[in-house]
Amino acid sequence: MKSRFAGLRENGWSAPPPDQPSDDLLAVRDIFKYFSFGPSVPWAKKRTIRAVDGVSFRIAQQETLGLVGESGCGKTTTARMILGLLAPDAGEIRFLGSEIGRRGPAKRRDRGRIQAVFQDPWSSLDPRMRVGDAIAEPLVVNTRLRGQQLRDRIAGLLDAVGLGPGAARNYPHEFSGGQRQRIAIARALSLNPDLIVLDEPVSALDVSIRAQIMNLLKDLQQEMRLSYLLIAHDLATVRYLTDSVGVMYLGKLAELAPTTDLFARPAHPYTLALIDAASAEVRDRPPIVLSGDIPSPADPPSGCRFHTRCWLYEQLGRPKICRTEQPPMTEVLPNHASACHFASDAMHPPTRAAVAGTSPSAATRAAAASVVGPGTAGAVMPVAPSRPLRI
Ligand code: SF4
């Protein structure tokens, strides 16, 4: 029987061999996760949701990587595989050089070193458990701390997140949303993790509380030499907290870059649209507005998955390559990769004046000409595949 993953690795991605030495804390290489659903009626076909479809990235010590994208793009499924809540169908997840994606001794050993803080602190804490007991639980299961040593450790953790040791005697309902998130962070810190997966850690909080929690996370990162994987919708949070950002669309990475580069020079049309949607900044070009909904991951579009909503595809006159060839992740600037056949056009969107004076495709052609140099005016050039990004 033909494998569900046959041909899926032919996406231009060049992952290093598994035994290559690396100083990364976490290396995610070409992971896939598909979910199959049986038909609701006997004559219907089985459906397969391609939740994560060949994603690779790395997180260094004390680095924060953000994963952004619309709901259903696969960022939470990726985080769940890193946390060990789901096993990848293919690919590998290495933590300090050991494979943890599949069950095994390394996975058990490293379990305590990767922790999570979820979006809703209310549902991540047991309402019938005192705060001290909730923080003690992982310590009792995984360490030999007992008695006064255990109580001291709990008091230290509560102190580290800005709550007094007296908070250990209270129940979660006696705290505000921000305080409950501090308790969830204290519990995540209890086993001295190296990596914390932050799944929308401030989006359920009042705006006035968000800054406090973000600053707390930054301070803890400095003091405890933590690395974070931040899953978020809110680009302002991502911009403030992260060192680098991966933009996901329909189970794939569209762009991966250092945060300052990504916001200063987005190299994928989808990233540009996300930034425009989140910003009220006045620019010398019209804002990019995406139309339509994200397609079903059970039936993703052919070629570039974004082509059904891509403004650049329309402006370039619907080039065939976008419908037929999946763009590989290609390094367009140092450490800045984009999965777009026309990344250099995306980095130079037409100005407001150009759009007013010419047709949209001509404006983009003018921008493309300014990138590719003299003698090519009027030609729409795909970005030269400089070299595949190595992860
Ligand atoms: Fe748009 Fe084509 Fe680039 Fe995909 S490859 S993002 S459709 S321009």
Extents of the domains making up the chain: 26-242, 267-372
pLDDT band at 369 (very low <50, low <70, confident <90, very high): very low
Higher pLDDT, 356 or 206: 206
Q: Ligand 1 pocket check: which of 247, 326, 340, 371 to mutate, most ligand atoms within 8 Å of Cβ? A: 340
Ligand 1 centre distance from Cα of residue 299 (Å): 18
Q: For residue 120, what are its two tokens?
A: 């809703």
Residue 233 pLDDT level (bands cut at 50, 70, 90): confident
Q: Convert the pLDDT of each residue in 301-316 to its tens digit.
A: 999 999 999 999 999 9
Which CATH architecture best describes the domain 26-242? 3-Layer(aba) Sandwich (3.40)
273 lines ligand 1 (CB under 6 A): no
Q: Given this model, what pLDDT does residue 121 score?
A: 85
Name the range with the highest mean pLDDT among 83-92, 361-370, 371-380: 83-92
Considering the chain, what is the average pLDDT of its residues? Answer: 83
Residue nearest to atom 7 of ligand 1 (CA): 307
368 Cβ closer than 6 Å to some ligand 1 atom: no
> Cβ neighbours of residue 272 under 8 Å, at least 6 residues apart?
266, 288, 346, 349
Pocket test of ligand 1: the residue of 250, 272, 315, 322 to mutate, having most ligand atoms within 8 Å of its CB, is 322
Candidates 306, 345, 381: which one to mutate for ligand 1, based on the most atoms within 8 Å of Cβ? 306
pLDDT at 190: 94
Q: Are 124 and 132 in contact (CB under 8 A)?
A: no
CA–centroid distance, 3 to ligand 1, in Å, is 28
Assess contact for 92 and 57: CB atoms under 8 A.
no
Alpha-carbon torsion (7, 8, 11, 12), positive or negative:
negative
Per-residue pLDDT tens for 153-178? 999 999 999 998 999 999 999 999 99
65 CA from centroid of ligand 1 (Å):
24
What is the arithmetic mean of pLDDT over 93-118? Answer: 78
Q: What does the pLDDT read at residue 22?
A: 55
> Does residue 349 have a pLDDT over 70?
yes
Task: Give yes or no for residue 306 CB within 6 A of ligand 1.
Answer: yes
Among the listed residues 283, 276, 267, the one whose alpha carbon sits nearest the alpha carbon of residue 336: 267
